[in-house]
Structure 1
Amino acid sequence: MPEREQLIEVGVALSAVLIMISTLFWIGSTYGGEGGTLSPEGGQMFVGAIVAFILLMTAVGVALAYTLNDPEDGLEPGGDSDGNGTF
């Protein structure tokens, strides 16, 4: 059985991917031309959607890292008395 953290990560990632797919579908249906080509505005929207997806996934990754970090993992600074990290 998957752990709670894994289920949260999968759910958030799946939601972000579904948002990306629906955005690309919307761009294609709105800005699509004859023969399945995109208009110049559609191309710009497509590139913007890809950039937004990259930024969204970065923000989601950082948020999940802070949210799902357990104190007993030893990842917080100042947990070592001599100042050296443990790897």
Structure 2
Amino acid sequence: MLEREQLIEIVVAVSSIVLMLGAMIYIGQTYGSDGVLQPEGAELLVAVIVGFIFLLTAVGIGLAVTLNDPEDGLEDDDADAQNAA
């Protein structure tokens, strides 16, 4: 069975990809004619790709901060050294 964190990451990643694909399909249907994409559509398509990169960066940082559990042994080694002395 998947852990809770893995399930959250999968749902967020799949929903981000579905959002990007939906935007790309919308642009293709709106600005495409006879298999050719108009210049305005091409600019929007590039903007969607760049936006997707920024979105996944923000989502990755957000998930790292949200799902990071400080009790997982990621503490500073100096604190362990001070406690042992």
Shared fold per TM-score greater than 0.5: yes
Give the number of the structure whose residues are more often helix, by fraction. 2
Larger radius of gyration: 2
Query: 1:55 and 1:63 mapped to 2: Cα distance?
Result: 12
Read off the aligned partner of 1:32 and give its amino acid letter.
G
- State the partner residue of 1:51: 50
Read off the aligned partner of 2:23 and give its amino acid letter.
T
Counterpart mapping for 1:32-71 below 5 A: 32-34=32-34, 36-71=35-70
- After TM superposition, the score normalised by the length of structure 2 is 0.86
User: Once the two structures are superposed, what CA deviation does each residue of 1:19-47 show, in whole Å capped at 9, x if it has no partner?
Assistant: 0000000000000022x110000000000
- The root-mean-square deviation of aligned C-alpha atoms, in Å, is 1.8
- Tell me how many residue pairs correspond in the alignment: 81
Instruction: Assess, with a 3 A threshold, how the Cα gap between structure 1 residues 43 and 31 changes in structure 2: closer, same or farther.
Output: same
Give the number of the structure whose residues are more often strand, by fraction. 2
Gaps spanning 5+ residues in structure 2: where?
Answer: 81-85
Aligned-pair identity (%):
57
Displaced runs of 4 or more, over 2 A: 73-76, 78-82
- After TM superposition, the score normalised by the length of structure 1 is 0.84
